[in-house]
Chains A and B, each alone.
Chain A
Amino acid sequence: MEALLYQLFSGLANGIIYGSVALALVMVYQATHHINFAQGEMATFSTFIAWALMQAGWSYWAAFFITVAGSFAGGLLVQRIVLRPMEMAPVLTNVIVFIGLLLIFNALSGMLFDHAIKSFASPFPKNSWFATKYFSAHQLGSAGVLLLVLGALFAFFRYTRVGLAMRAAAQNPDSAKLVGIRVSWMLGLGWGLAAAIGAVAGMMIAPIVFLDPNMMGGILLYGFAGALLGGIDTPLGAVIGGLVVGVLENLLGAYVIGTDLKLTVALVLIVGTLTLRPDGLFGRKVVSRV
């Protein structure tokens, strides 16, 4: 029983990580209706920037917020400069460009920061007052951060004018233009926000798995699985999906198929969700009457 609980909680802790990546993916999807394959590498690069700032003497939270702000700007710029001409292009073209971005960001991380594994500080020291038996301080702290981001996103999409405009621009860019929405800028904004979220995710993940250019490879896959499972167009669904993936991965790994097939679990989840329940557990089915 103890072991089961442990697996459960450890799965939840991992799930928080996957959920935060899933959140960034959902952000991009809500804004652009594209899946950003480069999300993981961009997050890794942001984390490296934060690391470099801390190496240069900045305090954790100063580095944190500068990195988030910088990532926002970076994401916005990437959309404006690289992706804008592709807005009208077919999906294949966009996918190829995303893979290209994946490669470039991965290369940038490698070239600027070398491939040696680095440790990354956590803002939640081991003996904080809220550390418990099953969850470390960092895990609880990350969960808190994630919930904050989630709450902010939810409020943004639900209650703000810009959030509504962004959703409209992603769903129906032509109609969005006709109500005066600057669709192109909405896409840029979406990318900026996604990059910022990715940076947060990266900085929460790095203390656990250590920082190197290929940090996000497998995690990205779990993020995808979580986002799809929860419903690629709902932020809350993404987080829940991430938690489910984390728990499933651990439980299946411990009791059913052995720990070395974990990526296969993600694969099966992705394919299964896409074929059996494409809207995910919480996604809204869009009905259109012919």
Chain B
Amino acid sequence: MAKLLDARHLCAFYGGTQVLFDIDFSIEAGHITAILGANGAGKTTTLRALCQVVRTTGSLAFNGGSGEVQLVGKATESVVRLGVAHVPDGRGTFTALSVEDNLKLGAYVRKDRAEVARDIDKAYARFPRLAERRRQQAGTLSGGEQQMLAISRALMLRPKLLLLDEPSFGLAPLIVAEIFRIMRKINEEDAVSMLVVEQNANLALDLAHHAYLLETGTVALSGPSETIKCDESVRRTYLGY
């Protein structure tokens, strides 16, 4: 199957501090890939590196359907235009703007007006709670609703690759379950490839096809999620049994 993203020898830096050390990973088109690891392992940094929000060296070969493009060195805005949507940790919603404005902004780079309107309706259908609050300031939404908004906003791009940073963070288990269920649905119905960073290893391994385990900036383990789930050390350290 075609590789949507191929990362080789990826290093990432915050100023003078190196956080990712020469990691390799790849994302299959149409798959959900998870990145697991403890705090400080470099998971969020990996997503930031993909969007070129932090300084990186190495190679990030992105194949979104129109040939292979090298992401390293590009501006974030250009990476977005190639079809990479990022739901950052903390949701990243525009809290002072309305729900509807947030969605519109998600489609900022698109030129097809009619389709954008259709996608907004689709988002409201998928998350009725957002429809109820469409004129409300995004900052007044609950955590779960903001997460729904953040995901919807990212989907407005019609991305080839959706990056999600800790989607379960700070949310009640019921809401989390609903959101993960919807994420699987989005992946299956709309064939959106996803890269999910999660501290909650159980949830992530249930959702994803493939997983990487990061430890202090290097890849400690990788493989199909079924295999990872059965791995002795993973079970003990991250799954709790």
Contacts and interface: CB of A to CB of B under 8 A. Distances in A.
B77 A181 contact: yes
Contacts of B97: 164, 167-168, 171
Nearest to B106: A179
B94 A180 contact: no
Contacts of A176: 94, 105
Contact of A168 (B53, B81, B105): B105
Given A180-B81, A287-B137, A165 B105 contact: yes
18 contacts: A164-B97, A164-B104, A171-B96, A175-B94, A177-B53, A177-B76, A177-B77, A178-B51, A178-B86, A179-B80, A179-B105, A180-B80, A180-B81, A180-B109, A286-B137, A288-B95, A288-B139, A289-B141
Contacts of A287: 95, 137, 139-140
Contact of B96 (A165, A177, A181, A284): A284
B142 A289 contact: yes
B93 interface: yes
Main secondary structure of the interface of A (DSSP, over half): helix
Interface residues of A, number: 22
Contacts of A183: 77
B77 A182 contact: yes
A172 interface: yes
Contact of B92 (A174, A180, A181, A284): A174
Interface residues of B, number: 30
Contacts, number: 78
B149 to A, nearest CB: 12
Given A164-B104, A171-B94, A286-B95, 17 more contacts: A161-B108, A171-B95, A175-B88, A175-B92, A175-B93, A176-B94, A177-B76, A178-B51, A179-B105, A179-B108, A180-B108, A181-B77, A183-B77, A286-B96, A288-B139, A289-B141, A289-B142
B101 interface: yes
A179 B140 contact: no
The 4 closest A-B pairs by CB, nearest first: A180-B80, A180-B109, A175-B92, A288-B139
Interface in B94-141: 94-97, 101, 104-106, 108-109, 137, 139-141
